[in-house]
């Protein structure tokens, strides 16, 4: 989760190899009976399907990157269905704070470097994405590193959420 968070914060993308590695280790832990949260196969697979499926709808609407969706699916394998709701709420609150801070800094830029940090790196346009008139097609910018916030909310859940 740490690698996902750092990668997503710095580059606003989640590499497939990290998500696949996390999912493979989760499946191995389930297969060997070493799942750290005591989940059964059905609970873990249901968590993965719900995590992936719900965020897939948000991705299809254009509000989220595919890496966030894949990470939610892998995360569901680890924490199961019932932990996803508090993790989503926590991650969404953090993402909302991130967005509010970025919007506020856009309107009142007392620290332009902070606004740029919250915005993330500029995404280069590939030559295949150039229209015939030489302009780049409009692309929705990914300001919020949602996978990073999912990882942070999961870490909080692992420490405090499981105690109740």
Residue 128 forms part of a structural domain: no
Token digits for 163?
A: 């105690």
| Of residues 118 and 73, more confidently modeled | 73
Alpha-carbon distances of 135 from 22, 73, 95, rounded to whole Å: 39, 36, 31
| Of residues 111 and 37, more confidently modeled | 37
Exposure string over 125-160, b if 16+ CB within 10 A, otherwise e: eeeeeeeeeeeeeeeeebebbbbbbbbbbbbebbee
| Of residues 99 and 114, more confidently modeled | 99
Residue 127 forms part of a structural domain: no
Dist CA 70 CA 23 (whole Å) = 10
Residue 86 forms part of a structural domain: yes
Tell me the mean pLDDT in the region 33-52: 95
Residue 84 forms part of a structural domain: yes
- 89 burial (CB, 10 Å; 0-12 / 13-18 / 19+) is exposed
Tell me the mean pLDDT in the region 118-128: 55
Dist CA 6 CA 71 (whole Å) = 14
pLDDT tier at 7 (50, 70, 90 boundaries)? very high
Which domain, by its residues, includes 43? 2-121+140-163
Predicted confidence (pLDDT) at residue 130 exceeds the cutoff of 60? no
User: Across the chain, what does the average pLDDT equal?
Assistant: 85
pLDDT tier at 115 (50, 70, 90 boundaries)? low
pLDDT tier at 129 (50, 70, 90 boundaries)? very low
Question: DSSP assignment, residue 144?
Answer: S
Residue 27 forms part of a structural domain: yes
Q: What are phi and psi of 47, to 5 degrees?
A: -60, -40
Residue 32 forms part of a structural domain: yes
Tell me the mean pLDDT in the region 49-57: 96
Residue 135 forms part of a structural domain: no
Residue 36 forms part of a structural domain: yes
How many domains does one find in the chain?
A: 1
């Amino acid at each position: 989760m740490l690698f996902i968070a750092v990668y997503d914060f710095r580059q606003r993308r989640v590499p497939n190899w990290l998500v696949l590695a996390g999912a493979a280790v989760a499946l191995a832990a389930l297969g060997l009976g070493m799942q750290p949260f005591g989940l059964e196969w059905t609970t873990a697979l249901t968590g993965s399907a719900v995590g992936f499926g719900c965020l897939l709808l948000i991705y299809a609407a254009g509000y989220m990157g595919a890496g966030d969706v894949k990470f939610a699916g892998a995360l569901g394998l680890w924490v199961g269905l019932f932990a996803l709701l508090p993790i989503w709420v926590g991650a969404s609150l953090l993402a909302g704070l991130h967005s509010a801070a970025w919007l506020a800094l856009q309107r009142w830029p007392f620290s332009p470097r902070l606004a740029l940090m919250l915005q993330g790196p500029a995404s280069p346009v590939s030559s295949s994405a150039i229209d015939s008139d030489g302009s780049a097609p409009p692309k929705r910018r990914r300001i919020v590193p949602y996978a990073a916030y999912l990882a942070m909310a999961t870490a909080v859940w692992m420490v405090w959420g499981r105690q109740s």
